[in-house]
Amino acid sequence: MTLAVNNQSIPSRPRGGSFRRDLIGVAVIAVFAAAGYILFPDNLALLTRILAVALLVLALDLVTGYCGVATLGHAALFGSGAYAAGILSAHYGINDPLLMTLGGIVAGAVAGLLCAVVMLRAHGLPQLVLSIALIYLFHELANKASSWTGGSDGLSGIMPDPVFGVYEFDLFGHTAYFFGVALLLIAFVLLRLVVRSPFGMLCRGIKEDPLRIRAMGASPNAALAKMYVISGAVAGTGGALSAISTQVVALDALSFTQSAEALVMLVLGGTGSLFGALAGTLIFMLFEDYVSAANPFHWLTMVGVLLIAVVLFAPKGIYGTAAAYFTRRGEANR
């Protein structure tokens, strides 16, 4: 009864094949990044925002796609990372972007652990409700602690130093964009290693049949908690990137809407695959930018129709459906 998303048979492939896929993946991201830079030089802020959200969606994919935990509160990890990076700079004067990112990673991982401890106590609908309650708690906390977070005015006064002391964050966002692309590439390669490792396979096993995993002697909750921490680190990176690039952190970073949108992007692209998460983010955010500029309410209707259509006609998401199609054609030609 689990969502049929396991469309990649990675373990049965030889090791060299998956390494080649990694290289192709990195190359594809690099090509897209370069294309974005050349085609939209005036809109690098949007592209950097897409990079930050892509990290959040990747993190969500780890727990939803690979572990089968449905959550509507994943922005809690993203926002924790953003606020940690922002507070380091605004209140402690630690302006080195790498240190700020590290702060975001740690805060995201801690938030991930916290969420895991609460959410893994229940299953199904109560788990979903717990995730919603958590994101509202985080939101209210950040709103209340306004001396630290700036409350509903947002946290400002973030002044990142040049990267490595050389590349300054300029007004046009060139440095922030390349910084983001580098972070995304690193995260992508590391995550490919994680999901292919025995630990990653264990998590997939838990999604398929937790009872059997327990019978084999592994603890599902321990593995899921570990995955949640990893996911938190990735989401925290995204949050830190958004704080560094925009130099403000708004309460929106910790909102239910952000969480729900991330889930929509993931499902649009296809759960259970890192490429799907990236594709979904890119398509959704570009569309959102064009359509919502025209009319925000029509945008909502369109997202709704799109969601229904994806659930009915392409349950594996855009990437999953396309990948399945090409695999079938490849096998037919062989």
Partner 1 sequence: MQTVFSIAIDALAYGMVLFVISIGLSVTMGLMRVVNLAHGAFAMIGGYIASYVARDLGLGYAVAVIAAVVITIIIAIPIERLLYRRIYGQPELTQVLMTIGITFCIIGIANYAMGPTLKTIPLAEPLRGSVDLGFRTISIHRLFAIICGLAVALGLWFAIEKTSFGVKLRASVDNAAMAAALGVRTEIVYAISFAVAVGLAAFGGVVGAELLPVEPYYALRYMVTFLVVVSVGGAGSIPGALIACLLLGAIDTTGRYLMPEFGEFFFYLAVIAIICVFPRGLAGRVK
How many CB atoms within 10 Å of residue 145?
13
CB of residue 123 to partner 1, shortest distance in Å: 7
Residue 249 — φ and ψ, nearest 5°?
A: -125, 120
Q: Cα(212)–Cα(203) distance, rounded to whole angstroms?
A: 12
Cα angle at 102 between 96 and 107, to 5 degrees? 125
At position 64, the amino acid (one-letter code) is T
103 or 269, CB closer to partner 1? 269
Task: Answer whether 17's CB lies under 8 Å from 329's CB.
Answer: no
305 binds partner 1 (CB under 8 A): yes
Which of 31, 186, 311, 327 touches partner 1 (CB under 8 A)? 311
Q: Is 157 in the site for partner 1 (CB under 8 A)?
A: no
Q: Map residues 181-220 to x or -, x wherever contact with partner 1 holds by CB under 8 A.
A: ----------------------------------------
Handedness of CA 177, 181, 187, 192 (dihedral sign): positive
Find the binding residues for partner 1 in span 134-153 (CB under 8 A): 134, 136-137, 140-141, 143-144
212: its two tokens: 């059997």
- Binding segment (CB under 8 A) for partner 1, from list 29-37, 38-46, 120-128, 193-201: 120-128
- Kindly tell me which of 143 and 156 has the beta carbon lying closer to partner 1: 143
Binding mask 63-92 for partner 1 (x = CB under 8 A): -x-----x-x--------------------
User: CA triplet 14, 16, 21: central angle to 5 degrees?
Assistant: 105
Q: Specify the residue, 47 or 310, whose C-beta has the smaller distance to partner 1.
A: 310
Q: Between residues 118 and 286, which has the closer beta carbon with respect to partner 1?
A: 118
**CB-facing half-sphere around the CA of 90: CA atoms within 13 A:** 20
Q: Which stretch of DSSP H or E encloses residue 66?
A: none
What whole-number distance in Å separates Cα of residue 16 and Cα of residue 202? 22
Binding footprint of partner 1 on the chain (CB under 8 A): 1-3, 64, 70, 72, 118, 121-126, 128-130, 132-134, 136-137, 140-141, 143-144, 256, 260, 263-264, 267, 271, 297-308, 310-312, 315
